[in-house]
Every structure is written in C-alpha cells, then in structure tokens.
Amino acid sequence: MSVRTACPYCGVGCGVRAAPDGRALAVMGDAEHPANLGRLCSKGTALAKTVGLEGRLLHPMIGTRRVAWNEAIQRVAGRFAETIARHGPDSVAFYVSGQLLTEDYYAANKLMKGFIGSGNIDTNSRLCMASAVIAHKLAFGADLVPGCYEDLDLADLVVFSGHNAAWTHPVLYRRMEVARTRGQRHMVIDPRRTDTAEAADLHLALAPQSDVRLWNGLLADLIRRGAVDRGYVAAHVAGFADVEAELAQADQSPAAVAADCGVPLADLETFFRLFAETPRTVSLFSMGANQSAQGVAKGSAILNVHLATGRIGKPGACPFSITGQPNAMGGRETGGMATTLAGHMDFDDAGRARVQRFWGSPTIAPAAGLKAIDMFDAVADGRVKAIWIMATNPAVSLPNASRIRAALAACPFVVASDCMAETDTLSFAHVKLPALAWGEKDGTVTNSERRISRQRRLFDPPGEARADWKIIADVAAAMGYGDGFGWRNPAQVFREWARLTAYENAGRVLNLGPMATITPEAYEALEPVQWPVTAAGGTARLFTDGRYQTPDGRARMVPVAARGPAEATSGAFPLSLNTGRVRDHWHTMTRTALAPELCRHTPEPYVEMHPADAEPLGIGEGALTRVQTARGEAVALARLTDRQRPGSVFMPMHWTEAFAPSGRANPLVGPQVDPRSGQPEFKHTPARVRAYRETWRGFFLARGAWTAPSGLDLVWRRIPQAGCQLHEFAGRGDARERSAVQKALTRKAGDVLRYEDPAAGSLREAWIDGDRLDRVIFFTTVGALPPREWLADLFEADALTAADRMALLMGRPSGRAVDASPIVCACRGVRAGRIETAVAAGCATVDAVGEATGAGTSCGSCRPEIARLIAKGEVRHAA
C-alpha cells in the first residue's frame, strides 16, 4: 500500500507516493499532486536510497555519553532557564531551519517569543529568503507570494533572475519545458551560463551584482516605450513618481545600462523589447537575487517592474520569488524569522498584544531578535550563551564559516537536534537530540506557491528519535510552561496554528480560517491546498482584484539605486567568487551522499573558471587549485569553461569536513549582508586562485569512511560508492609524507598484492580478506592514475576472480577500455561518453539519445545537459 507524502528537498514541494516495506521503500511521483503531477527529479527519485538507518542519531547524547530522554531534556531546560535567570532572555537563542515542519516551527517560535520572551529565534531562511521577504513586505504590505505554478504553464515569457531552475527546481523546470513546446520563451539573468541559461532563448551574463541596474534600466525603457500600465498604476499602486525620480538620477540609456551590466547592447535591447511585448510574463527570482548585500533592492526592482506593468495577480503574469527549502514558506508563516511574529504579525504593540493574548503566554518578545549572522556574532562575543540549533548545519552553511566554528567552540552551551549522528555542527554540541527524519515524521510543509501539503509517516520511529515539535514541547514543559505545550499530536499543533492565523484577523491575507477546526481525520486526509483558505477552498493567485495588504490597499513601488558588490575586487583579490548548488546534492550532503548515484554527477568539489583566467596562472583542466579570499583558503579541482565569465569563479557550497575538509566553500565567503534583510552576499567575495602544485596524488578505496591521516597536510576527498568509499588525496610533501600515508592506510597483516616503484614514487596495494577485496591504495608522483570505477565495482563482487587479481596486480582492468567520462544521467547511470557516441551516431534530439542510451528517460533532470552535449556534437560536426 502506498502513502501519499511530500518530498523533503526543494521548495517545489512535489507529491510522492511511497510504499514502505520494513525499512525499504519504493517511491514514485504522485500523479495527483498539483505541484508535480507525477514527476520527480533525481533527488526525489533516489529517496529510497537515503532512508536507511546508517549514520543516524538514535539516542540523546550529552557529550559522548548516551543518556535517557529525561536527562537530556532536563539538561537543556535547566541550562536555558539558568542562563535566562542570570543573563536575561536575550542571552539564549534558537537557530532553526526551513527543513522543519510547520508544526515544529510553530512550537519553537511559541517557546522563544511567547514564553522565554526573546525575539532570538531565526532560521536558515535568513540565508535564503530574507531579502525577498522584505521586498514583499515593502511592496505588498506582507510577505505574500502572488503567483502559482499554473502561471508558469501559462506564461509566454519566463525571466529567471539568479535562478538555475534546471538544477535547483527541476520538476518546475520540466513543466516549463513543456510550456516551451507551445512557444513559451526563457530569458536567464545569471553571470554563469548554467544549464538553464544554455537552454534559454536569451542569456544575459551580467556582471556580478549588477541586477538593480538592469531592472531599473528595464523599467526606464518600459516608461520610454509607453509600456507602463497607467490605469493599473493609477488604481492600485503608490510610489510610481518616486521611482521615476530615482531612475532619473542615472543615465538609463540602453547603451549605458548594457555597459554597466557588462552585457551586449543588442541582447539587452532584445530583452527590453520582448519584455515590453509580452504581457504574460513571470519573473522568477532566487538566490542570485536574494543572496546579495543589495538583495532587497534586487527584489524591489523586480517587483517595481511588475507593478508598473500591472503584470501581477493575472494568469501567467507575476513576480515569483521561488523558495529553496521544502518549508521555507512555513517558517515565514509561523514566525521562524527573528524579525516577525507568527501569522505575519509584526512587533508593533497591537501585533504583540494580539499574539500574547492568543497564546495566553506570560510574556511576549518586546522586539525583533538577532538575525542569523548577528546571532552568531553574539555567540562569538558572549552575548548569547546558550544556543539550540535545529535541522540546519551552520558550521558548513553560514558565511565566514571558520569564525562560526570558533563561535560554537567557545559557546558555553550548544544543543543540536538532528537526525544524523555526525555533522560538522554536531561536533560542537554539548547535547545532541535525535530527531525523526523524513518518512518518520508527520506534519505539514508549504511550498513556493503557498501550497500546504502533508508529509506523512512511512516508518516506525527508529531508536529513541522524536518529532522536533515534541522535543520542543518537552523542553518547554521542563521549563515550567507545560500548559502552552500540551499537544499530543501534530494535528493539535496545526489546529492551534490555523486558529492563530484567523484570530482577530481583519485583513491579514495569511488566513487558514476553516482549518482552525480541522479534525484529526481531516488532518490525516488533508489534500494539498493553497493559502489563504476560505470556505470555498484554497486560493491560487493573490491580488486578482488589485488590492494589497497595505492600509490604503495599494501596492508600493520602492525607489532603489544600483550599487556595486559590498566588497570590491582588488589587485590582491581580483576575482569574484560565486557559490551555489549542483544538480544532485542537497546542501551539506547529510542525506544525498547516502545515495551513491547522487554522488556521481559531481563527485568532488570544484572551482569553475574561464580559461582566460586560468591560463596565465598555469592552471589546467582538472588541476588542484587553491582558492583564496581575505578569510580563508580552499582547494578544489579546476573546471575550465567559457560558461564562466572572465573574472568570476564558482564553487559549489556542499562539501563538508566529513567529505572534503579542504574543499569547503564557506570559510572563503565574506560576512557582508544586506542592511535590511541581513542576508549574506554568498554570491560575491573577492578572491584569487593559484595552482596547488601537488607533488604526488593517490586514492584509497575501503569499505568504510576514512578521514585523512592526522598530522599531514593533504587534500582529502571522500566519494561514496555502492560497495565502498573512494578517497582521493594529494600532497605537497616528499617520500616521508607518502610513507606516512601508506603506513596509516595499509593493514598490518593479511593477503596483499603489492607493486612498488620507489624511484617513480608509485605504489599499488590491494588487501584481500578471504575472497573479497578489503582495501586498495594507489599513488604516484608522476604517472597517471587508473580509472577508479572498475576497482569500486570489485568491492561489490562476492569473490575476486583470478582475472580480478591479475588486474589488481597490473593496476588496470583487463578487457575493453572503461568509459571514465562523467555520469550525466544519475538515474540510469549513463556517462557523457556514451551520449557523445550516440550523438555522433546520429541521435539529434534528447529523446533520440534517450531511446539509444536510456539517459534522460527517468526523472529528466539531465535533459538540459544532454541537449548541451548534442549542441556540442553539432558544432564539432560543422567544424
């Protein structure tokens, strides 16, 4: 029997049909879920591979000691109460996450703001959505996302601003690919030529952080052309004249705008013209807009254009801030952010009094609390003395990460709730609380289009893990607040939350009215529904009547001036370091790295750069490269490509201490934030790169995960495989370093096949346990290393054959050459080499390649990449 639930990854919020069998699982897309209509991307498809109990935190821990729940709860409640008694409510903080369920979020916010009495609860959405939230509030009077996914089907033009949808919201992107077959056009604004950009009708590879100039230039152009909807503005919008006056402060000629944004004039003019001519336009904006010291201004500039043209609240026309995490929206609703109360109420007297009245709570936070970056500054300087981190991994994901680690190391009391036993953040926790993971917990999430869906339980709770809301309620009770936290199940939490949205609601759009009396049965059976919810059901589109949640009902256009990046590049740091996501990994890899197939597309950290920047530095394709900023250094493989703007480099954000200690991006990222939203400028830090110049390289395969031998300065990366863990390493030392590594990794006794050439600094060792391979070491100072895949495959064999042993001794696989080109299709395991062969053999469409190789026929996430390989093949053919 299959259960209908929701995917725990991105903000698309796909419905999943899951059939559990013990701890095993079969998943498929839920054809009845309106977000995905049956589709899933590579991450959703691989969900079954990530629900094992390997690596889970299953019992509460104090230090390294396993303790009973009661003791852990008493310790957390006691230390928080004591700290509050001695230093006041603002000496404690919660740092929470868009991966909590709405019920969890609601409970955490209630405890901090209503009972502890501090505003110090903030969420990782500060790193993600905060700029869009402020831009929405300024324009619409509340944090309201006007559009819905259907608008993406109906639009004739979709503009992607700093949004690599093909990789980050793949199922929505697939929906838009379908719309393209009837003529929808795509324009991408992104300094990088991403897969989304590559496939688009037009790509503006703008200079980093020049978006405000671009969107202001567009608005000026629309005004010049008479493409503004004067009637809409007159009836529904305020502030047009102020914005017009602001625009007049700069030269808005297309030539000047094109020059400042670093894009060809002709392309800019095409963009302006198409935008002017296409009423049904949706402007998607994501991290390239939000994660900026001008994140709010970028959002406002986009909203201004849509308000001025009346392209909002209409089918196929809206500005659309897309959410990242599965419940980023739920956190914004329930007050997960330090700057708002629950239910879109603010810290004004009326809002505070109302929420306190509803809760019947002893107190209410007097003012907004610390935003994430400020919160960790306060941890660093001792103002915050106890912090509880839930469902997020700040030691990896916050900017200037080395400073964050130092702050956590110095904090007198760190509590972390997580489902995994080891994360970079948990290593700083004094108390570790085991949380239920996806598939075990029950509750609701809200996706990008305001749609509330149920996540449903598939498995029995493992070990002693508990739901996050329950852990919070237990701590609240131990602090003496039992009355406010006596829920027995998530349905009760949800009902209270829904009641709050409706409480004394005279005009708040966020209203779940009829759900305030939801029965446990109705909660169990809840169908996906978009808020606001009325007696008639959900609401797809907001502002259809042109009325906004402002006192006069008008939207506000907000004048914004273009500025450069917060920190300018310089002679010492001449490059702009941009960071972001890869297709198959989720954030800090605690879950996606459990599925080897998700590790194949991008096996290890890389730095993407333009060949023109790499060449003078002597950096070739695939070379280990040091990326340095004023804050730190990382080492990653160079990927040279003209998809990158000269002067800009890109690193993925995902790698951690556990997978690539020297490949972490965030120790490099500067601490600059948007002054209003507090969102960090993750997309730009001045940087330089240098060749790493290793003297030797090697790899090590073993059944379990290994960390680098201690005391050595190695570049170490771990890449999970189906039957083993592959560790790649390189060093700059001499023979002594090599022999130290050999000593640390080889077994002391057993059956070994060894080949050694000390003169060439090469070594091959294969250790065999009975008939099975136990570990393999290869290193060399000069020659090439063989492909790893055939070795990894040998770990899956029940017994080694004589031919296998011979191959191990020879250091290369026997028989035909192996294809070591990168995996393109993660679902079907198809490599670039096979696709290129198919293209050369005449496959000219993605579907034809699919028929020949299977690639792209499952989830479709790799279709843009296949299209790119076809285009490359055509170029080669023409040449």
Ligand X SMILES: Nc1nc2c(c(=O)[nH]1)N[C@H]1C(S)=C(S)[C@@H](COP(=O)(O)OP(=O)(O)OC[C@H]3O[C@@H](n4cnc5c(=O)[nH]c(N)nc54)[C@H](O)[C@@H]3O)O[C@H]1N2
Tell which one of 73, 128, 165, 830 touches Mo ion (CB under 5 A).
Answer: 128
Phi, psi of 665 (to 5 degrees): -80, -35
Between 453 and 511, name the residue whose CB sits nearer to ligand X.
Answer: 453
Give me the least distance between CB of 168 and ligand SF4, in Å please.
Answer: 8
Q: Which of 455, 431, 424 is nearest to 325 (CA)?
A: 455
Backbone angle region of 829, left / alpha / beta, with phi > 0 → left and psi within -120 to 50 → alpha: left
- The option from Mo ion, ligand SF4, ligand X, none interacting with 579 (CB < 5 to 8 A, set by class) reads ligand X
Q: Which stretch binds ligand X (CB under 6 A): 486-494, 553-561, 577-585, 748-756?
A: 577-585
Between 44 and 813, name the residue whose CB sits nearer to ligand X.
Answer: 44
Torsion angle, alpha carbons of 139, 143, 147, 149, to 10: 150
- The option from Mo ion, ligand X, ligand SF4, none interacting with 7 (CB < 5 to 8 A, set by class) reads ligand SF4
Total binding residues toward ligand SF4, as defined by CB under 6 A: 14
Q: Widest CA span of the chain, in angstroms?
A: 84
CA-CA distance, 358 to 123, in Å (whole number)?
23
Q: Kind and range of the H or E element at 863?
A: helix 863-878
- The option from ligand X, Mo ion, ligand SF4, none interacting with 132 (CB < 5 to 8 A, set by class) reads none
Between 629 and 857, name the residue whose CB sits nearer to ligand X.
Answer: 629
Give me the least distance between CB of 773 and ligand SF4, in Å please.
Answer: 34
Angle at 107 between CA 101 and CA 110, to 5 degrees: 135
Whether residue 254 is preceded by a cis peptide bond, meaning omega within 30 degrees of 0, is no
Q: Can you read off the two tokens belonging to residue 410?
A: 């110095």
Give me the least distance between CB of 589 and ligand SF4, in Å please.
Answer: 14
Give me the least distance between CB of 276 and ligand SF4, in Å please.
Answer: 32
Q: Can you read off the two tokens belonging to residue 331?
A: 């956190």
- Per rule CB under 6 A, is residue 199 in the interface with ligand SF4? no
User: Do residues 602 and 585 make contact, with C-beta atoms less than 8 angstroms apart?
Assistant: yes
Tell which one of 120, 209, 283, 780 touches ligand X (CB under 6 A).
Answer: 209
DSSP-H helix ranges across 483-541:
490-502, 520-524
- Per rule CB under 6 A, is residue 867 in the interface with ligand SF4? no
Between 12 and 391, name the residue whose CB sits nearer to ligand SF4.
Answer: 12
- Per rule CB under 6 A, is residue 176 in the interface with ligand SF4? no
Q: Can you read off the two tokens belonging to residue 876?
A: 């080669």
Phi, psi of 56 (to 5 degrees): -80, 150
3-state secondary structure (DSSP) of residue 729: strand
Mapping DSSP onto H, E and C, the string for 676-712 reads CCCCECCCCEEEEEEECCCCEEEEEEECCCCCCCCCC
CA distances from residue 77 to 71, 409, 472, 481, 558 in whole angstroms, order as listed: 10, 21, 10, 11, 45
In the chain, the N- to C-terminal Cα span, in Å, equals 55
Tell which one of 18, 40, 61, 862 touches ligand SF4 (CB under 6 A).
Answer: 40
- Per rule CB under 6 A, is residue 41 in the interface with ligand SF4? yes
Q: Which residue has the tokens 């936070």?
A: 365
- Calculate helix-pair angle for 240-247, 211-225, nearest 10 degrees: 110
Q: What helix, strand, coil percent values describe the chain, rounded to 5?
A: 35, 20, 45
User: Do residues 114 and 363 make contact, with C-beta atoms less than 8 angstroms apart?
Assistant: yes
Tell which one of 145, 165, 171, 577 touches ligand SF4 (CB under 6 A).
Answer: 171
Give me the least distance between CB of 42 and ligand SF4, in Å please.
Answer: 7
Between 423 and 721, name the residue whose CB sits nearer to ligand X.
Answer: 423
Between 128 and 472, name the residue whose CB sits nearer to Mo ion.
Answer: 128
- Per rule CB under 6 A, is residue 293 in the interface with ligand X? no
CA distances from residue 219 to 191, 229, 271, 304, 407 in whole angstroms, order as listed: 21, 12, 12, 8, 44
- Per rule CB under 6 A, is residue 14 in the interface with ligand SF4? yes
Tell which one of 17, 18, 27, 44 touches ligand SF4 (CB under 6 A).
Answer: 44
**Residues forming beta bridges with residue 825, ordered by sequence position:** 830
Between 151 and 260, name the residue whose CB sits nearer to ligand SF4.
Answer: 151
Between 429 and 435, name the residue whose CB sits nearer to ligand X.
Answer: 435
Q: Can you read off the two tokens belonging to residue 79?
A: 């230390």
Residue nearest to Mo ion (CB): 324
Q: Can you read off the two tokens belonging to residue 873?
A: 């093949």
Q: In Å, how far from its chain's centre is CA 363?
A: 35
- The option from ligand SF4, Mo ion, ligand X, none interacting with 124 (CB < 5 to 8 A, set by class) reads ligand X
Q: Can you read off the two tokens belonging to residue 420?
A: 């995994």
Tell which one of 6, 10, 429, 509 touches ligand X (CB under 6 A).
Answer: 10
Between 192 and 600, name the residue whose CB sits nearer to Mo ion.
Answer: 192
Q: Which stretch binds ligand X (CB under 6 A): 19-27, 272-280, 419-427, 746-754?
A: 419-427
Backbone Cα Rg of the chain? 27
Give me the least distance between CB of 532 and Mo ion, in Å please.
Answer: 25
- Per rule CB under 6 A, is residue 9 in the interface with ligand SF4? yes
| Residues 703-762 within binding reach of ligand SF4 (CB under 6 A) | none
Q: How many CB atoms lie within 10 A of CB 631?
A: 18
Tell which one of 15, 34, 208, 324 touches Mo ion (CB under 5 A).
Answer: 324
Between 473 and 753, name the residue whose CB sits nearer to ligand X.
Answer: 473
- The option from Mo ion, ligand SF4, ligand X, none interacting with 208 (CB < 5 to 8 A, set by class) reads ligand X
Q: How many CB atoms lie within 10 A of CB 251?
A: 12
Q: Can you read off the two tokens belonging to residue 367?
A: 């003012």
Between 175 and 788, name the residue whose CB sits nearer to ligand X.
Answer: 175
CA-CA distance, 724 to 717, in Å (whole number)?
14
Give me the least distance between CB of 331 and Mo ion, in Å please.
Answer: 11
- The option from Mo ion, ligand X, ligand SF4, none interacting with 435 (CB < 5 to 8 A, set by class) reads ligand X
User: Do residues 681 and 631 make contact, with C-beta atoms less than 8 angstroms apart?
Assistant: no
| Residues 615-674 within binding reach of Mo ion (CB under 5 A) | none
Between 591 and 626, name the residue whose CB sits nearer to Mo ion.
Answer: 591
Site residues for ligand X per CB under 6 A = 10, 97, 99, 124, 127-128, 161-164, 167-168, 189-192, 194, 208-209, 211, 286-288, 291, 324-325, 390-394, 396-397, 417-420, 423, 435, 437, 441, 468, 578-581, 583, 585-588, 590, 653, 665-666, 669, 682-683
Site residues for Mo ion per CB under 5 A = 128, 324
Site residues for ligand SF4 per CB under 6 A = 7, 9-10, 12-14, 36, 40-41, 43-44, 169-171
